[in-house]
Amino acid sequence: MPPEPMPPEIVDSHCHLDFPDFEDELPDVIARARAAGVTRMVTICTRPRSVPAVRAIAEAHDGVYWAAGIHPMSAHEQPVVAVEDILAWAEHPKMVGIGETGLDYHYTAETREVQQRSLRVHIEAARRTGLPLIIHARDADEDMARILSEEHAAGAYPCVMHCFSSGRALAETALSLGFYLSMSGIAAFPKSAELREILAAAPLDRILVETDSPYLAPPPHRGKRNEPAYTAQTARVGAETFGLSLEDFAAATSANFDRLFTRAARPA
């Protein structure tokens, strides 16, 4: 019997490997990801106090990189981070992005002013480092489009709309600014047909894939803990959405990742 073909290589552009869900199991989680073809992962730090732990995970594992910022739902818990602090983190060679940052009015609308100040600080850090901004947006489409556009007019910066699940208008604004949209497990949910239509209208060269694990596991794992290996399930749905083979979709989104996350790019 001939050996089974190797899965196409793909990138999980956003996961949270420092979360307690993966405690004492991280080597196995990373091994399963690699077996599924997920050869590179970006683990995201969401609070300053977590920087040492997230950085250590990236240092300990080949193919694992990290990004750091203050999640908008946590922005009010400490003073707004200084640009200089983010620039200091970015001196690490495996730190590849700024964030996640953004706006979330779903549960924390009362902190919108501090969220907006924090977002602008992160944008300045992305502008000064050239590292991509990683945006979390929920129930804040108008303010998000306005701030991203205002800041881009003041000086360009690279950006990805992580776990994109917002409306068509925000997608169009982001794409007009040269930004990327990232597909998570939400895009694979049966009731996400409208979201898939929005994503399918985007240029293929602006699409990434991610898990946002341990959250948002795609079918057939929905309701269970998500992990980087499941990027492959979302990629299959992405391939169907764009009318491509899995191999072609994986190659395209990996090339997009290389173009945006230049520090984590596979050598030519």
**Residues flagged as binding site for a divalent metal cation:** 14, 16, 100, 136, 162, 212
Q: DSSP letters along the chain, please?
A: -PPPPPPPPEEEEEE-TTSGGGTTTHHHHHHHHHHTTEEEEEEEE-SGGGHHHHHHHHHHSTTEEEEE---GGGGGGSSPPPHHHHHHHTTSTTEEEEEEEEEEHHHHGGGHHHHHHHHHHHHHHHHHH-PPEEEEEES-HHHHHHHHHHHHHHS---EEETT--S-HHHHHHHHHTT-EEEE-GGGGSTT-HHHHHHHHTS-GGGEEE---BTS-PPTTSTTS---GGGHHHHHHHHHHHHT--HHHHHHHHHHHHHHH-GGGPPP-
Binding site residues, as ranges? 14, 16, 100, 136, 162, 212
